[in-house]
Structure 1
Amino acid sequence: MATLLLIDSSVFPEGGSASRAVTAAFRKTWEEQHPDGTVIHRDLAADPLPHLDAVAASAGFSDPATHTPEQQAAFALRTQLAEELEQADAIVIGAPMYNFTIPSTLKAWLDQVIIMGRTIGENASAKGKPVVVVASRGGSYAPGTPREPFEYVQNYLEAVLNGGFGLEVEFIVPELTMAPSNPAMAELVPLFETSRAKAHEQAEAKAKELVARFAA
């Protein structure tokens, strides 16, 4: 049975979140195709992780036998998060763009789960696993658009997830999500609707593809 690690970071509930709507579509298709599988869901907005501090950081670079009680507690969380990543066969991450970058809660997860010599490094423990990132954004930062230079979500996550963890990264990008609520973007609503529909189709297709891969 395959395990899916699903990470949501939007501050909005599914009904008001473009990224959650797409990750939910992926999960629904995954569970329909693989009802005996396991889904580990981390909702970083509902249950945020602590930001990495000196205690947790220092624990990652010292011998566990020398850890203080505080380091032991902090590193236990980091170990749990690393194990969730390692036990997953596939990962889906909802990463909406906030102020040109990822939510701080998602950055906190990354900082906690990055453990040099374990999840990061020459023999990264989750290397090769597929990860689908739903990188929603209110406007468009696609190549050739005026805001292309401000695209710090895909560029950053490609560097960390692929360059760091060694994961097999694929992006689904629902864009122009502010069009329905911003009068200045009213003429872009049809493009938003097309982008939204495409994102849902991509999520469902990718879920089926991954289930088929693990079933083979």
Structure 2
Amino acid sequence: METVEHECRQGRRCKARTRTADDHWHGAGVEKPESLCRACEQSAFADIRELGDDYSLLAAASGKPQSQRGGPKVSGSSEPSIPINLAADTLVTAIEEESARWARRLPGEGWELTVISSNLGVLVGLPPQRVTVWAPHPDGGDDIRETVMDGVDAVLALAALHQRATKVLGLEPERDQKLDEPCHVCGWAAVTVSVKTQLVTCHRCHNVWHQDEFSRLNNPLAAA
């Protein structure tokens, strides 16, 4: 592996990570210490741009009146019609707090998430600074404390909120399932099936079959 002076802040979670001969993962090389590589930065930016839609969907799921891009909150009925989804409600609050924390440090006015999405390049470059956060208390509940965060911390924290939102909203992409059977062409156990398309793919020889065809070909008795 080529020696680099600095590695992506994401380390082994880096989108462009590489693995050495002794099976250790390293983040992609970057010019500045404690920064993100281009792949990780662009991925985080894309997640942050989705937070506006996430917020609207979560607020609707929670039954909580929401502020529409800085406008007045819509009055709710005095009689609750549906139970509040606590996971969605908690995440709505987290998005509000995190976006307010960083929007005030950026140029522009308007809804916090709009300000942030319009200044992602400025945000990621913010220097370390003291911020106030909620932290779990050992005896239960939360305490307010101060910590030091920089622009990379901000970008990763906001991007993580989108990842949480996709889980709470049930919008996670379907993942391929690994099969125990080896590929009947190359013999490698590198076969997955798509839950959505029912297509089987060998990631060693790159052959593709429909699941029924793969089962027939991989079973000598059925193929006879």
TM-score above 0.5: no
TM-score (norm 2): 0.22
TM-score (norm 1): 0.22
Which structure exhibits the higher relative contact order, with contacts defined as CA atoms closer than 8 Å and separated by 6 or more residues?
1
Q: Considering fraction of residues, name the structure with more helix.
A: 1
Q: Which has the larger radius of gyration?
A: 2
